[in-house]
Chains A and B, each alone.
Chain A
Amino acid sequence: MGAVTTIALLLLGIAIVGCLYRVVVGPSVQDRALALDSVVICVMTSMVVIAIKYSSGFFLDVALVTAVISFISTIAIAKFLIKGKIID
């Protein structure tokens, strides 16, 4: 499993760089929010790959908490862009 997971982590790092290109370039704010959501999903995928690499189930907890934070922050950004305030 060592070589497979190492190559997979390398490709996921390149994918995160591609998402960051869209964060920097993206013409609208929603492009940037969508690209940051994709960055978080790439991080979750690499956490699961790291869990396979080190045979440790604790990294799956990291992926789950990252999913929850990603969902809440995306909803907050979109609601701020629609209404101009988050909690009303």
Chain B
Amino acid sequence: MIEAIVGILIFLGVFFVAVGVIGLVRFPDVYTRAHATGLLSTLGIGCVLAASLLYFNWVIDTFSIKELLIMAFLLFTCPVSTHIIIQSAYRTKVALWEKSVTDELKDSASAKDIEAGSI
């Protein structure tokens, strides 16, 4: 029974990874591709880590808690790295998609901070 849940969770995680990579290949500009990789780095590896937690603790009866450590580390670091890559894209003036509706950062007060060069 638990082995079936482990298999389903592995395939769910691989499914989310596949959806994220399809988004990374097909989306039109770098700002929308960042959304796809966000799906990949939280839900994709999260489901596989949950499967690993179930497998090591209840199927083969060993004690394993490193999955929680990996998941906590990823939940802190993946938004930071995605945010700083997108900020570097905006500051080096990578163009938005031509059908983009709005650019709120362009007319706001924080645009002066970006021009001044303070992160």
Assuming the contacts A8-B10, A34-B34, A75-B81, asked whether A49 and B48 have C-beta atoms less than 8 A apart, the reply is: yes
Q: Tell me which of B51, B64, B73, B84 contacts A67 (CB under 8 A).
A: B73
Q: How large is the interface on B (under 10, 10 to 19, 20 to 34, 35 or more residues)?
A: 35 or more
In angstroms, Cα B21 to Cα A23, docked, is 12
> Would you call B48 and A45 a contact (CB within 8 A)?
yes
Chain A proximity of B6: nearest CB distance (Å): 7
Of B64, B67, B69, B89, the most chain A CB neighbours within 10 A belong to B89
Q: Tell me which of B13, B33, B77 contacts A34 (CB under 8 A).
A: B33
> Would you call B44 and A41 a contact (CB within 8 A)?
yes
Assuming the contacts A1-B3, A60-B70, A71-B77, asked whether A38 and B10 have C-beta atoms less than 8 A apart, the reply is: no
Q: Which residues of A contact B89 (CB under 8 A)?
A: 28, 30
- The residues in A between 31 and 55 inclusive whose CB is less than 8 angstroms from any CB of B are 31, 33-35, 37-38, 41-42, 44-45, 48-49, 51-52, 55
> Would you call A30 and B30 a contact (CB within 8 A)?
yes
Q: Which residues of A contact B87 (CB under 8 A)?
A: 78, 82
> Would you call A75 and B84 a contact (CB within 8 A)?
yes
> Would you call B81 and A78 a contact (CB within 8 A)?
yes
Of A14, A30, A31, the most chain B CB neighbours within 10 A belong to A30
> Would you call A41 and B94 a contact (CB within 8 A)?
no
- The residues in B between 11 and 60 inclusive whose CB is less than 8 angstroms from any CB of A are 11, 13-14, 17-18, 20-22, 24-25, 30, 33-34, 37, 40-41, 44-45, 48-49, 51-52, 55-56, 60
> Would you call B41 and A41 a contact (CB within 8 A)?
yes
> Would you call A15 and B18 a contact (CB within 8 A)?
yes
The 3 closest A-B pairs by CB, nearest first: A30-B89, A74-B81, A71-B77
